[in-house]
Structure 1
């Protein structure tokens, strides 16, 4: 049974994916691959912006990257690992049939990110069980990877995103309600100029490890699954 998506990147909130793997998604689009973003919530508990504003920003970011986007509308900060949420996520995985699934980090300062990782890993496994009572035809991604948290350590895999760096950062900057330094808005951690510098500096450092200008990192259970390695090889192949 063939996959429908090459790559699905999942975030707990709009902008989570763009912080970490926007370049990977832009590369996938440029290589003719089918890629998408899945947001579990609309980020309605965020200090800045509204759920509607963040939805509009998220759609603009997806347009810039050249991918599709869906939001499951789980309650921000209040979704759990209970079956009601797992089944909804399982049904979405069965609907879009990704070959590779990218998740938030298992260890992160934000509880939603940690919970999203655990919930999605379980959903990805159980979605492949034919006897599990869940809508859709059974489907299990061939590989699961995750993006970095606060202090993720040495990456397992690095992807050269130099060719799409400007577009990747344009998608990041599309979330003006979250990242703009607007003096009329509360100064949050991610709205501070140091946060953006951290995103740029991290990619520059990882690029130095790959001997390229900019890179993004992934982690996975080792040895790296064949499907993940094949996808990454396609990402870095000539356009």
Structure 2
């Protein structure tokens, strides 16, 4: 599956509805079992406790074996932040005492 962090509301390449339609089409082409969107703010991604917790909860909800994120060097600041957020969340997802209401998972 794929989890989008934002709805791309700041995008210069279309609007939210267009980007959602593109995501739906891509999901069908890729044969994804699940596609979610956390609705975090476009151009407002930061390594904050709230954002890390949202990504961590999503990882725990789906318990993937492998997690991919954008490369940490990119011209787009949100891609860089996404990489950092996912790195933090993957680490936290395996910690039993982090968000104990949500069961820890083991990811690679």
What band does the TM-score fall into relative to the shorter chain? over 0.9
| Runs of 5+ consecutive residues of structure 1 not aligned to the other structure | 1-35, 143-239
Q: Distance in 1 between matches of 2:100 and 2:6?
A: 21
C-alpha contact 1:44 1:76 (8 A) present in aligned 2: yes
Q: How many residues of Structure 1 are paired with residues of Structure 2 in the alignment?
A: 107
- After superposition, the CA RMSD in angstroms is 1.1
Structure with the largest fraction of strand: 1
**Structure 1 residue 79, shift from structure 2 partner:** 1.9
Partner of 1:108: 74
User: Over residues 137-157 of structure 1, what are the superposed CA-to-partner deviations in whole Å (9 max), with x where a residue is unaligned?
Assistant: 101312xxxxxxxxxxxxxxx
Q: Distance in 2 between matches of 1:134 and 1:40?
A: 23
* 1:63-102 matched pairs, under 5 angstroms: 63-67=28-32, 68-102=34-68
1:98 partner SS: coil
**Structure 1 residue 50, shift from structure 2 partner:** 1.1
Q: Distance in 1 between matches of 2:42 and 2:76?
A: 12
Specify whether residues 72 and 134 from structure 1 end up closer, same or farther in structure 2 by C-alpha distance, changes over 3 A only. Answer: farther
Partner of 2:86: 120
In the alignment, does 2:60 pair up with 1:61?
A: no
Specify whether residues 134 and 104 from structure 1 end up closer, same or farther in structure 2 by C-alpha distance, changes over 3 A only. Answer: farther
C-alpha contact 1:90 1:134 (8 A) present in aligned 2: no
Q: Distance in 2 between matches of 1:109 and 1:43?
A: 16
Q: Distance in 2 between matches of 1:78 and 1:100?
A: 26
* 1:219-234 matched pairs, under 5 angstroms: none
TM-score by length of 2: 0.93
2:98 to 120, 127, 132: 132
User: Over residues 90-122 of structure 1, what are the superposed CA-to-partner deviations in whole Å (9 max), with x where a residue is unaligned?
Assistant: 000000000011110011111111111011001
Partner of 1:31: none
Specify whether residues 55 and 135 from structure 1 end up closer, same or farther in structure 2 by C-alpha distance, changes over 3 A only. Answer: farther
Q: Distance in 2 between matches of 1:128 and 1:120?
A: 13
Partner of 1:41: 6
